Amino acid sequence: MIMLTADEKRAMCSELAAQLPKIRELLGATQEGFGELCGLSRITISRIENGSAKMNWSHLTSIMFVVCCNRRTKEYFYANDLLGVRFLQFMQQKDANIPPEINIVVDVESLRAFAERK
């Protein structure tokens, strides 16, 4: 089973923190509304977004629960390869040689649109 190092977790937290404004935009959520979905305060979301606070692993897992429950944010997550394969293998308790499962219906047109934005 994949085990993530503290450095890998910190890097994943930094990567997701940089994506918070886009994730909120896809959800059509304010910082307050997004915080309510994630179980975090508006102040915490604001501080993570403006860089005055670092996201921790608990924040990341709370946010990823919300991301995985919404089709648009989930498609964005996969289309942009956020957090990488090791994150998915870790969360799905897979060995390094077993690919993670992607268990969503992905709208191909949405994926193309995301790819064209890069």
Enumerate the domain spans of the chain: 6-117
Q: What is the pLDDT of residues 48-61, one digit of tens each?
A: 999 999 999 999 99
**Alpha-carbon distances, residue 72 vs 9, 17, 61, 67, 90 (angstroms):** 24, 18, 18, 8, 23
For the chain, how big is the Rg over CA atoms in Å?
14
Residue 53 has which token pair?
A: 């606070």
First CA to last CA across the chain, in angstroms?
33
Q: What is the pLDDT of residues 13-28, one digit of tens each?
A: 999 999 999 999 999 9
CATH of 6-117, one of 1.10.3860.10, 3.30.1360.20, 1.10.260.40, 3.40.462.10: 1.10.260.40
Pair 85, 97: CB distance under 8 Å:
no
Helix, strand and coil percent figures for the chain, each rounded to 5: 65, 0, 35
Distance CA(85)–CA(39), nearest Å, equals 26
Q: What is the structure's pLDDT at 114?
A: 67
pLDDT of the chain along its 118 residues, tens only?
Answer: 999 999 999 999 999 999 999 999 999 999 999 999 999 999 999 999 999 999 999 999 999 999 988 989 998 998 899 999 999 999 999 999 998 887 655 567 766 776 776 5
Q: Reduced to 3 states, what is the DSSP secondary structure of residue 103?
A: coil
Q: What is the structure's pLDDT at 95?
A: 94
